[in-house]
């Protein structure tokens, strides 16, 4: 029984098939990678899974429940957390308050929520930044804050939308470690990523999207050797 099962999901924008008949399954404890060129429909699929878009057709089943027409905050409450491709810190709040907003998802009291928030801040390596205004963080710190906030909601399934974007090689390396630690805590992860070494290092299974359609599924090694994938995603540079 998969944790999340996506069945024949389509999302059309005025006839433009952004996501076209996509089916995929995520099992508990896995890290699943989702790759594809710009405009392949990765973020659109994320938005369907988290309630920001309503899928044109198809079923999304999470823990035996249909979720395709639920609102984002309900989906979050059911245990699906997400981060955004463009970090969205709450600039008028401190780092601690930012994370506390997420922690209130499951925590009843203020003390409990702030406690949980502090733990997540330490876990993501932001210790010492609690009282800093979130708007003044650098890119790397903003990425960690996104992750800390999402973790504070206590998700079972975490959707990461390009958490490596804009990070330096050192920061990426640290982020890879951090994601491993998240997995070790028992959180299942679906991640969109552009950087192949990151996908190779982290994923158990990889799905490849092209123009809204899934063209390949397999282990990172299988996918990276699939000629269709190399042509569509990595480009045809090998022929040149």
Partner 1 sequence: MNTKNFNRITLTALLLVAVLFPFFADFYILCIGISVLIAALLGQSWNIMSGYAGQFSFGHAVFFGIGAYTSTTLYTMFGVSPWLGMIIGALVAALVGAAIGFLSFRYKLRDDYFALATLAFAEIFRILVNNTSALGGATGILIPYLVKPSEYQFASDKTYYWVILALVAFATVFIAVMSKSKTGLNLVAIKSNQEAAAALGVNVLKYKLIAISSSAFFAALAGTFYAQYYGFIDPSIVFASSISVEAIVPCIIGGSGTLYGPLLGALLIIPLQEICNSLFTSISGINMIIYGVLIVLFIMFCPDGIYGRMTKYISKRKGN
- Partner residues linked to 160 by β-bridges: 191
Which of these ranges, 33-41, 87-95, 181-189, 198-206, lies near partner 1 under the rule CB under 8 A?
87-95
Q: Does 73 bind partner 1 (CB under 8 A)?
A: yes
Q: Does 66 bind partner 1 (CB under 8 A)?
A: no
Size of the site for partner 1 (CB under 8 A): 33
Sequence length of the chain is: 240
Q: Does 105 bind partner 1 (CB under 8 A)?
A: yes
Q: Please check whether residue 41 is in contact with residue 208, taking contact to mean a CB–CB distance below 8 angstroms.
A: no
Q: Does 54 bind partner 1 (CB under 8 A)?
A: no
Q: Does 42 bind partner 1 (CB under 8 A)?
A: no
Q: Choose between 12 and 84: whose C-beta lies nearer to partner 1.
A: 84
Q: Does 115 bind partner 1 (CB under 8 A)?
A: no
Rule CB under 8 A: which residues touch partner 1? 50-52, 71-73, 76-77, 81-84, 88-93, 97-98, 100-102, 104-106, 110, 113, 132, 149-150, 152-153
């Amino acid at each position: 029984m998969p944790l999340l099962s996506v069945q024949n999901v389509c999302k059309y924008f005025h006839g433009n098939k952004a996501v076209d008949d996509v089916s995929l399954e995520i099992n508990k404890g896995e890290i699943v990678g989702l790759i594809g060129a710009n405009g392949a429909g990765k973020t659109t699929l994320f938005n369907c899974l988290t309630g920001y878009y309503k899928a044109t057709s198809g079923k999304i089943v999470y823990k035996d429940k249909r979720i395709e027409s639920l609102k984002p905050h309900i989906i979050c409450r059911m245990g699906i957390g997400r981060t955004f491709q463009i970090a969205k810190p709450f600039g008028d709040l401190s780092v601690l308050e930012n994370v506390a907003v997420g922690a209130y998802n499951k925590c009843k009291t203020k003390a409990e929520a702030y406690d949980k928030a502090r733990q997540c801040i330490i876990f993501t390596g932001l210790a010492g930044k609690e009282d800093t205004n979130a708007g003044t963080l650098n890119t790397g710190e903003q990425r960690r804050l996104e992750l800390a906030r999402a973790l504070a909601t206590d998700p079972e399934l975490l959707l990461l939308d390009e958490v490596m974007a804009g990070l330096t090689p050192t920061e990426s390396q640290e982020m890879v470690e951090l994601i491993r630690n998240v997995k070790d805590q028992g959180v299942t992860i679906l991640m969109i990523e552009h950087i192949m070494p990151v996908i190779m290092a982290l994923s158990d299974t990889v799905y490849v999207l092209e123009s809204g359609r899934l063209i390949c599924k397999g282990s990172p090694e299988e996918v990276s050797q699939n000629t269709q994938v190399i042509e569509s995603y990595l480009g045809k540079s090998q022929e040149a």
